[in-house]
Amino acid sequence: MHGAADHEVTIVSLGSTAGLRAADAELCASLQRAGAAATVVSAHAPPPVRTLMLTDLAWARAARVGAKGALGVRARPHSVIYSTTTAALFWPVRGAIRFDAPAAANRPGWDGLWQRPLERKRVREASLLLPWSEGSMRGLPAELARDGRALVVPVPVEASAPRAPEGAPAPGAPDTAATRDIAALTYAANPRKKGLDRVLDAWRRVRAELRSLDGQELVIAGASERELRDAGWLEGGEDGVRVVGTLAPDEYRALLRRARVFVCAPRREDYGIAQLEALADGCMLVTTPAPGPYAALPLARALDPRLVADELASSLRAALEQPASDYGPRALEALAPFTRTAVDAVVARELLPRLARGGGLA
């Protein structure tokens, strides 16, 4: 029998968002560092459609086409990981399923009418279940968490620049006070889901109350000013609000290193990679509680419970007026399970051996 180190793994990437694409690239790199011959096969984006039901149908079909084109007869042991339950719905062969949240949780009502029953069938057939977090299993049948097929494999998060040595601040380092020239940053690629209306309301209230915020800005990333205006989220130019649109990852992380606060009010959060990145780059996280497997939420509560509340304006005011002096170092400690080193250990010691033993194609 071949060892795990020479095992071939194909990741069928739905890739419908930048976050999913980045997560799949990270998993592939981690498998390669463990010695596997890992590759990513990306589905071709289908044309946009009007409903979530049809969107999932189009993406599931695209994932099947991509998988069929990539998977063939292999001379060596070979496994397939479908990234998201949507990618697995029409799978051509059985495999493992990796997911941030199932349709059972994030497609209620009519939005998931056909997806939920087929998803239940697929997760019962899967060779392995690879949730991003423990909370990702919510909504799936309870027995799945007890049958030994589930293995949590987080998406790794690292600081985007080295921290400055104590007493010797360096330009661009995420904990250098001089670089924190942005009061607050938010990410609004899906404005309603991310609660942009609540963020804007809280920012306007706090900025009107605090003279120290004169000349300071809330920066909105992830959506263009035209998109936000056309959808009614913004009306014309607004003093104290700047929209930077969709940025390359390096540009976005550079903004995080300049921001004092990352503020969000999600109506649902399936994982929250943006919030974890903000913590890694030295921002204080101000957020409302939200349903879903929100991985950063318990971290934020432990770091400073004042900054996690439904009353977002009060939390934002506390972060800007009375920041905890040791927030940054404690945030890095809290993120230890999410580092590449920690995730690589899970992949090398647990995931790859399990794939080699039982994750082969049926």
CATH code of residue 318: 3.40.50.2000
Residues 343 and 316 in one domain: no
Residues 94 and 186 in one domain: no
Question: 108: alpha, beta or left, given left = phi > 0 and alpha = psi -120 to 50?
Answer: beta
pLDDT at 227: 92
Residues 123 and 239 in one domain: no
Question: Is the residue at 226 inside a domain?
Answer: yes
Residues 200 and 111 in one domain: no
Per-residue pLDDT of the chain (362 residues; tens, 9 = 90+): 456 767 899 999 999 988 899 999 999 999 999 999 999 999 999 999 999 999 999 999 999 999 998 886 554 558 999 999 999 999 999 999 999 999 999 999 999 999 999 999 999 999 999 999 999 999 898 888 888 899 999 999 999 987 554 443 433 334 444 579 999 999 999 999 999 999 999 999 999 999 999 999 999 999 999 999 998 999 877 899 999 999 999 999 999 999 999 999 999 999 999 999 999 999 999 999 999 999 999 999 999 999 999 999 999 999 999 999 999 999 999 999 999 999 999 999 999 999 998 755 54
Residues 152 and 30 in one domain: yes
What domain count does the chain have? Answer: 2
Residues 61 and 87 in one domain: yes
Residues 25 and 60 in one domain: yes
Residue range(s) defining the domain that contains residue 74:
4-156+339-358
| Prediction pTM value | 0.90
Residues 219 and 285 in one domain: yes
Question: Is the residue at 255 inside a domain?
Answer: yes
Residues 261 and 215 in one domain: yes
Residues 181 and 325 in one domain: yes
pLDDT at 76: 54
Question: Is the residue at 172 inside a domain?
Answer: no
Query: What is the 3-class SS of the chain, one letter each residue?
Result: CCCHHHCEEEEEECCCCHHHHHHHHHHHHHHHHCCCEEEEEECCCCCCCCCHHHHHHHHHHHHHHHHHHHCCCCCCCEEEEEECHHHHCCCCCCCEEEECCCHHHHCCHHHHCCHHHHHHHHHHHCCCEEECCHHHHCCCCHHHHCCCCECCCCCCCCCCCCCCCCCCCCCCCCCCHHHCCEEEEEECCCHHHHCHHHHHHHHHHHHHHCHHHCCCCEEEECCCHHHHHHCCCCCCCCCCEEEEECCCHHHHHHHHHHEEEEEECCCCCCCCHHHHHHHHCCCEEEECCCCCCCCHHHHHHHHCHHHECCCHHHHHHHHHHCCCCCHHHHHHHHCHHHCHHHHHHHHHHHHHHHHHHHCECC
Residues 323 and 348 in one domain: no
Question: Is the residue at 168 inside a domain?
Answer: no
Residues 324 and 350 in one domain: no
